[in-house]
Amino acid sequence: MKDKSCNNTSLGNKSKKQLNAYSLAGIGIGGIVGSGFFLGTGLAVKEAGPAVILSFLFGGFIMAQVLGAMTSISINRPVTGSFRVYTEQFLGKFTGYILGWIIYISSILGIVSEAVAAAVFIRYWFPEFSIAIVASAVVIIVILINRLNMKYFGYFESGTAVLKMIAIAAFIFIGIIFLCSHGIQAKPIPFASINNFFPNKISGLLQSMLIVVFTYSGISTIAMATSDVRKPCLSIPKATILVTVGLVMLYVLTMIIIVLTINWGNVNIASSPLIQSLKIMNVNWASSAINVIIIVATFSVMIGNYYSCDETLISLSEASEAPSIFKKNKNDFYLYTWLFTGVTSLIVVAISFLLSAKLFNYLISACSYYSFFNWIINLIVYLKWIKEKRSDEKYTSPLILGKLGAYLTIAIILLLFVMSLWVKDFRIGFYSAAAITLFIMLSYKIFKV
């Protein structure tokens, strides 16, 4: 719905804004759909059983509320660095500093987890290659891609988003044809009784949500890109609705196909549940085809995370909460920001291979806890903005259910946080995230001005 109070030409130099609704939606989907969905959802199925379908509906509702909160403010107050800046405006410099560096580190961890996943799938064809070397090579390629002009970055993300959506839609189509001709393969039948649908009770569903949240966690990329959008009052709402409706529908339909073709207790968390399902359907070319799509997906998410890192670091630097060299240079390019993010990603990749073999799950859980924190802060800022917004700030996203939606979502996230700590691997991720956060808090004194 168009709001006459929202002026599309008042949000900056129009000639420099290069994204439209579809390219912004592409960046959003590109930053969201990655290995967390193609690979990590096996663990969510293990925790929740067939009720994982509800987990993704639940996750979609949470995502919609947070995305609605983010874009409601970003349309009215477009800035580089987006929610880090808003957090500082409404909750103070200390909270803004913490959130900014948490977003940055979370995005770095996201890059590394995707690089590790990409290396695992590339070794499907080249098993003699070292995962560490392949993961490092993947990060280098991502660094080079992020040197592209913003216009081409949007085109690349939009293109890969379309490819991922087509792949998921093809999986759903193949699954529907198979189920219509062969019937439900999973035993016991998931929808035959409440116990079959909730084999691990409500607690299993809630514990699966940490992985589900990770599959939606890339939404901050959309908020980061809003300052580069043409006609933001028209393009941003359209893009967010496309992303929300499209993703939730495809995610839920995919989970329905998986739980109807695989016995949930037999899901192998080391392999993509989509590949396992296609093998049961005797689609023999599936492994290589899905491998290609997953690799594309991981590159796409890494590129979006890299962009988010750069935008956040620039914002921190402009607020004197990071070294001043990360500001734009005379050639209109953030050279040192780009280099720092790249070098940091490579260092973290190198360190990661000195850690546990369960690295991927630990990285996912640490990133998810950061998403919990980030989303709660976003919603609190939204509530503060409602109270203190200026008279000309009248646009509100149709995705969020106002104050009720914000308070309800905060309560849900806190409940999911508590329930997730019952899973041992998740606790390790929480301890890692907590330790990093404590270091960030202590470092505030260094940059305090």
pLDDT digits (tens, 9 = 90+) for 332-380: 667 788 889 999 988 888 877 765 545 656 666 777 788 888 889 999 9
Going from N- to C-terminal start, the domains of the chain cover 18-447
Average pLDDT over residues 290-305: 79
Q: pLDDT (tens digit, 9 = 90+) per residue, 154-181?
A: 677 677 777 777 888 888 999 999 999 9
pLDDT at 407: 96
As a whole number of angstroms, the distance between CA 407 and CA 195 comes to 31
Listed residue (182, 161, 137, 143) closest to 29, CA to CA: 161
Token pair of 445 as six digits: 């004194």
Residue 36 pLDDT > 70, yes or no? yes
As a whole number of angstroms, the distance between CA 241 and CA 237 comes to 6
Average pLDDT over residues 245-254: 90
Average pLDDT over residues 142-156: 71
pLDDT at 161: 73
pLDDT at 313: 85
Rg of the chain in Å (alpha carbons): 21
pLDDT at 272: 80
DSSP string, 301-325: HHHHHHHHHHHHHHHHHHTTSS-GG
Average pLDDT over residues 100-128: 83
Q: Fold for domain 18-447?
A: Amino acid/polyamine transporter I (1.20.1740)
Of residues 148 and 6, the one with the higher pLDDT is: 148
Q: Which residues contact 365 (CB under 8 A, 6 or more apart)?
A: 210, 214, 420, 425, 426, 428, 429, 430, 433
pLDDT at 330: 56
Which backbone phi and psi does 19 adopt, to 5 degrees? Answer: -110, 140
Residue 221 pLDDT > 70, yes or no? no
Residue 50 pLDDT > 90, yes or no? yes
pLDDT at 53: 95
4 — pLDDT class (breaks 50, 70, 90): very low
Average pLDDT over the chain reads 80
DSSP string, 182-228: H---SSS-TTS-HHHH-TTHHHHHHHHHHHHHHHHGGGHHHHHHGGG
395 — pLDDT class (breaks 50, 70, 90): confident
Q: Select the highest-mean-pLDDT range: 359-363, 372-376, 419-423, 425-429.
A: 372-376
Q: Select the highest-mean-pLDDT range: 384-388, 420-424, 428-432.
A: 384-388
Beta bridge partners of 19: 229
Residue 237 pLDDT > 90, yes or no? no
As a whole number of angstroms, the distance between CA 255 and CA 124 comes to 24
Residue 311 pLDDT > 90, yes or no? no
Q: Is 9 helix (H, G, I), strand (E, B) or coil?
A: coil
Percentage of residues in the chain having pLDDT higher than 70: 82
Angle between helices 286-318 and 21-32 (to 10 degrees): 110
Query: In 437-446, which positions are buried (b, 16+ CB within 10 angstroms) versus exposed (e)?
Result: beebeeeeee
Cα–chain center distance at 105: 14
Listed residue (385, 373, 364) closest to 410, CA to CA: 373
As a whole number of angstroms, the distance between CA 224 and CA 206 comes to 29
As a whole number of angstroms, the distance between CA 366 and CA 431 comes to 8
pLDDT at 11: 43
Average pLDDT over residues 291-308: 80
Q: Answer positive or negative: Cα dihedral of 111, 115, 117, 121.
A: positive
pLDDT at 10: 41
Average pLDDT over residues 229-236: 71
Q: Which residue has the tokens 């899901």?
A: 267
As a whole number of angstroms, the distance between CA 216 and CA 368 comes to 9
